[in-house]
Chains A and B, each alone.
Chain A
């Protein structure tokens, strides 16, 4: 076990302060927070010693909401005000939710924005706000356990989450007052937890059957670099569906009608879930419906019957596995290990079928409920800079293809799914009418060929195209996805140079203004003056810039002429001085000055390090 380091009072042990960062698994059913302490990743318990926080929020009139186990216990009695599985609603519009089925026991109201709101005793709440409540509890727990403010968090999302769902997750974090270092795909987090622990090399498959989503990822781990080769899955298939299959069977047996009361449906779901869990260890389970919820009924179910009910659902996951293998260009035999993630992988039939498919015994040595949070904590620790430069690097992909609408409601893919990010791709289009001077660009995400089957992300218009005959103008559309998976689309008419661009913000996201209002309303910032907050943020940013330039000068001053060196030094010392002042505008101003004089320096350093990387390589080869 690693020993704790203790420094002398007033002396810091490390060259820079150890920053507090955590990983959060914001799950459909349960959530967890984990941190790396003394080099070991571990999940953090609450005051009662419980690590798992049920992802359930209960709203009450004139009282603050209750989150977790207490809320879960009230779910049957107060089902309208108790929101569970909110992750399924994240980034979804009213239409999507109708698709998810009328079985959701909440009252939805349509607001001004596209985002659905749920009517509760405490007023209307959006899914993003419900998630923010869960995050706030985990944040409080982490700050309590670690004894300080968090520098940042890594939050995990299903690999199959689309742009809108990711943005909604980020918005929830913002409302909870958390700085998101990175949204990390859940399977990748699990792979990190296994890989970093055991230094595993080779190609791994991560099979993640969570409460509400299924993900499969194929990763290559080599020399400390984790390369995601492909991801796939189904964002509307999970353990809940296994429960529902069993619940429907029970309702049929017990003659409970589809239009039964919400609390009765909740009761049947709870019985079904408990039975599913028991069937992991036993062959037959007794089922008992309580008369208090409507119908009294007694029955039993054998594992064999249960297997028949869920066989088709599990088969659907294997189809996704096949597709992921093909996208990765990998044969099933090349997979060295299969890692199981998510509570639903405890179902024996899942374990058996996955084992058969890959021809391997799946790995379950790390608790499948905790493995995602542990991996996220490790990534957070790396990103916040608590580890040296030799640590693991993660090369991730976009999970869904990005494209645009062309004539006739068809989709042209610009960046195909499973492309490694960051990436930029361009494609050329032309006008279809004589004298056309504007072109509307509709950005979509998805694999299908028809626009109607894909998710609409954004629309914008390129104007001022010089009028020509149809097909005469040349418009180059460029899609750029950064390392966070954030998309920017730009369009340029090549003969005239007219251009336009948009940072894509999904249609079902919150408006900037809405977030600001929620921030103001939320407890965490109520007492804080906005100006003071801006100043503090500017100072932190300036400190970071100063530190990075100092490091650069120490390492690579030789890349600068004497005059250049003096310019940098001067800008640096000026910024140091103004950073002591209390005007955030002045600080910002001098930060830009310093960045300007170091622009060329930064570029030279980057090129030098690229040469260095390959030179070192060739020396090793000889």
Chain B
């Protein structure tokens, strides 16, 4: 999923420092402040031109908020701003990949047994791994950070998020 506007810097739009750590309260406050000004509902009686402009700006503000508030998307965006090709990145971590295979097998087993307790164990394990991954991201995306290592983290977090998503879908079918 890519952003439509390549020219606007999301951090600048929200007047926030261009870094991984973000003050989420400040972010959501500014999101509301910006939408208050640009949202199409503020331009219902306005000319077609102003409506179109407000539509564009409100879309941009929504896109930016969507990216900035999510840890993975924000990390990807930072790499993109630094011209790092994280999409082409290959992960060389057999330990991690083994663990993923094991987690996926566990998900299949839960699906077969319809065991909700076992599912919640899987959930908390995945969440721990996600948390650890985000800690690494914070480190690797800091000023003195290792951007190639950050690409590894992004790759891993994508894996874990996908697993989590599938576990949630499974949970839906178990209720």
Q: Which of B36, B40, B48 contacts A225 (CB 8 A)?
A: B36
Q: Which of B45, B48, B62, B168 contacts A421 (CB 8 A)?
A: B62
Bound state CA distance, A385 and B62, in angstroms?
Answer: 24
A602 to B40, Cβ gap below 8 A?
no
List which B51-108 residues lie within 8 A (CB) of chain A: 53-55, 57-59, 62-63, 65-66
B44 to A384, Cβ gap below 8 A?
yes
A606 to B53, Cβ gap below 8 A?
yes
Q: Which one, A135-143, A185-193, A399-407, A611-619, is touching chain B? A: A611-619
A595 to B47, Cβ gap below 8 A?
yes
A423 to B32, Cβ gap below 8 A?
no
A613 to B55, Cβ gap below 8 A?
no
Distance in Å: Cβ of B155 to nearest Cβ of chain A = 20
B46 to A548, Cβ gap below 8 A?
yes
- Which B residues are in CB contact (< 8 Å) with A45? none
If A419-B66, A614-B33 touch, whether A483 touches B53 (CB-CB below 8 Å) is no
B40 to A617, Cβ gap below 8 A?
no
Distance in Å: Cβ of A621 to nearest Cβ of chain B = 8
Q: Which of B15, B35, B37, B53 contacts A395 (CB 8 A)?
A: B35
B49 to A613, Cβ gap below 8 A?
no
- Which A residues are in CB contact (< 8 Å) with B48? 595
B117 adjacent to chain A (CB < 8 Å): no
List which A409-425 residues lie within 8 A (CB) of chain B: 419-425
- Which A residues are in CB contact (< 8 Å) with B47? 544-545, 548-549, 595, 598, 602
A424 to B63, Cβ gap below 8 A?
yes
- Which A residues are in CB contact (< 8 Å) with B63? 423-424
If A426-B2, A613-B34 touch, whether A548 touches B53 (CB-CB below 8 Å) is no
Determine the residue in chain A with the shortest Cβ distance to B57. A606
A424 to B59, Cβ gap below 8 A?
yes
Interface residues on B, range: 35 or more
A385 to B44, Cβ gap below 8 A?
yes
Determine the residue in chain B with the shortest Cβ distance to A151. B45
B4 adjacent to chain A (CB < 8 Å): yes
If A389-B42, A606-B57, A614-B30 touch, whether A225 touches B49 (CB-CB below 8 Å) is no
B45 to A548, Cβ gap below 8 A?
yes
Q: Which one, A245-253, A318-326, A355-363, is touching chain B? A: A318-326
A610 to B57, Cβ gap below 8 A?
yes
Bound state CA distance, A383 and B45, in angstroms?
Answer: 8
Contact string, B6-29, partner A, CB cutoff 8 A, digits 1/0? 000000011100000000000011
List which A518-552 residues lie within 8 A (CB) of chain B: 544-545, 547-549
Bound state CA distance, A224 and B36, in angstroms?
Answer: 9
A223 adjacent to chain B (CB < 8 Å): yes
A393 to B44, Cβ gap below 8 A?
no
A125 adjacent to chain B (CB < 8 Å): no
A514 adjacent to chain B (CB < 8 Å): no
Determine the residue in chain A with the shortest Cβ distance to B168. A326
A483 to B15, Cβ gap below 8 A?
no
- Which B residues are in CB contact (< 8 Å) with A256? none
Contact string, A414-452, partner B, CB cutoff 8 A, digits 1/0? 000001111111110000000000000000000000000
Interface of B is mostly: helix
Distance in Å: Cβ of B51 to nearest Cβ of chain A = 9
- Which B residues are in CB contact (< 8 Å) with A421? 62
Determine the residue in chain A with the shortest Cβ distance to B69. A329
A393 to B33, Cβ gap below 8 A?
no
A610 to B37, Cβ gap below 8 A?
yes
Bound state CA distance, A598 and B38, in angstroms?
Answer: 18
A482 to B55, Cβ gap below 8 A?
yes
A382 adjacent to chain B (CB < 8 Å): yes
Bound state CA distance, A545 and B48, in angstroms?
Answer: 8
- Which A residues are in CB contact (< 8 Å) with B29? 617
Q: Which of B36, B45, B58: most chain A Cβ within 10 A?
A: B45
A425 to B34, Cβ gap below 8 A?
no
A602 to B50, Cβ gap below 8 A?
yes
Distance in Å: Cβ of B147 to nearest Cβ of chain A = 24
A617 to B33, Cβ gap below 8 A?
yes
A599 to B35, Cβ gap below 8 A?
no
A277 adjacent to chain B (CB < 8 Å): no
- Which A residues are in CB contact (< 8 Å) with B32? 222-223, 225, 227, 393
If A382-B41, A613-B34, A617-B29 touch, whether A599 touches B15 (CB-CB below 8 Å) is no
Distance in Å: Cβ of A155 to nearest Cβ of chain B = 15
B55 to A606, Cβ gap below 8 A?
no
- Which A residues are in CB contact (< 8 Å) with B36? 224-225, 393, 613
Bound state CA distance, A415 and B78, in angstroms?
Answer: 22
B156 adjacent to chain A (CB < 8 Å): no
Distance in Å: Cβ of B122 to nearest Cβ of chain A = 16
- Which A residues are in CB contact (< 8 Å) with B37? 609-610, 612-613
- Which B residues are in CB contact (< 8 Å) with A617? 29-30, 33
B41 to A478, Cβ gap below 8 A?
no
Bound state CA distance, A50 and B58, in angstroms?
Answer: 42
Bound state CA distance, A225 and B37, in angstroms?
Answer: 12
- Which A residues are in CB contact (< 8 Å) with B53? 602-603, 606
B1 to A394, Cβ gap below 8 A?
no
Distance in Å: Cβ of B158 to nearest Cβ of chain A = 16
List which A373-406 residues lie within 8 A (CB) of chain B: 382-385, 389, 393-395
Distance in Å: Cβ of A91 to nearest Cβ of chain B = 24
Contact string, B111-124, partner A, CB cutoff 8 A, digits 1/0? 00000000000000
Bound state CA distance, A204 and B83, in angstroms?
Answer: 41
Bound state CA distance, A393 and B37, in angstroms?
Answer: 10
If A323-B172, A483-B58 touch, whether A610 touches B38 (CB-CB below 8 Å) is yes
B46 to A422, Cβ gap below 8 A?
no
B134 adjacent to chain A (CB < 8 Å): no
B140 adjacent to chain A (CB < 8 Å): no
If A595-B49, A610-B38 touch, whether A322 touches B175 (CB-CB below 8 Å) is yes
Determine the residue in chain B with the shortest Cβ distance to A594. B47
Distance in Å: Cβ of B104 to nearest Cβ of chain A = 18
Distance in Å: Cβ of B142 to nearest Cβ of chain A = 25
- Which A residues are in CB contact (< 8 Å) with B62? 420-423
Determine the residue in chain A with the shortest Cβ distance to B172. A323
If A483-B55, A602-B50, A602-B53 touch, whether A383 touches B33 (CB-CB below 8 Å) is no
A181 adjacent to chain B (CB < 8 Å): yes
Contact string, A546-566, partner B, CB cutoff 8 A, digits 1/0? 011100000000000000000
Bound state CA distance, A606 and B59, in angstroms?
Answer: 14
24 contacts between A and B (CB under 8 A): A182-B41, A225-B36, A382-B41, A384-B44, A385-B45, A389-B42, A393-B32, A395-B39, A420-B65, A424-B4, A426-B2, A482-B55, A544-B45, A548-B45, A548-B50, A595-B47, A599-B49, A602-B47, A602-B50, A606-B53, A610-B57, A613-B36, A614-B30, A617-B30
Since A393-B36, A613-B36 are in contact, a sample of 8 more A-B pairs with Cβ atoms closer than 8 Å, ordered by chain A residue number, is A181-B44, A222-B28, A393-B41, A395-B35, A419-B66, A482-B55, A609-B37, A613-B34
| CB-based closest 6 A-B pairs | A483-B40, A225-B32, A613-B37, A422-B59, A545-B47, A613-B33
